[in-house]
Amino acid sequence: MALNLLMLGPPGAGKGTQSERFARTRGIPKISTGDILREAVHEGTDVGRRAKAIMDRGELVSDEVMIGIVRERLERADARGGFVLDGFPRTVAQASALDRIMDGRDPLIVVDIVVPEEELVRRLGGRLICENCGANAPMAATATAPCLKCGGRLVQRADDDQAVVLERLKVYHRMSEPLVEYYKIRPTFRSIDGAQAPDRVAADLVAAIEAAGSGALRQGVKG
């Protein structure tokens, strides 16, 4: 059975870190719409230029654009054996589109990473990004350290200014929290505590995925 994992959680919950770690250990691709968009911004593509202004305001890119990006990516050969999806869906409309994309595939396991808002604000206010390649730096990194991917200079993300952080969390609560309601009735849904140390979160993530996968097999869930 292909391991198709969807990570939910607010900005700063650690979805990116945990997604990358889990995908690497399982040998499946981590598919992050945020990474795809930041790459487009860095390369100065038409989509990138339009998306940059939206993201810098802490707003979300349109459903149509995001659905198209994900549909194309999941059709690639390396995603047939499973994937970790981070940053999509962010709305119920996107979730419904993802259900259609997943029709006929193995079950989609959904894990929600829960973190208190005050901790999210603290984390996001100290987050750094490489000004050259756009990669997120580890949480413990300082502005004097080089980027681990390309050696570039680390700077604060434009969308991690405190006012923008608070706006992003408002947007999340308004538009993305209904996703938990959408998914939580499924036997493949689990929730974990993301306020713990990263290794503890990683262990809980594995346990949640194994439990959700067992539930899906027992009930013969598809898509």
Just list the catalytic residues.
15, 90, 127, 157, 168
How buried is residue 33: exposed, middle or buried, by Cβ count under 10 Å (0-12/13-18/19+)?
buried
CB atoms within 10 A of CB 85: 26
Q: How far apart are CA 195 and CA 92, in angstroms?
A: 25
CA distances from 187 to 101, 153, 178, 201, 219 (A): 19, 44, 17, 21, 8
- Whether omega for the bond prior to residue 10 falls within 30 degrees of 0, making it cis, is no
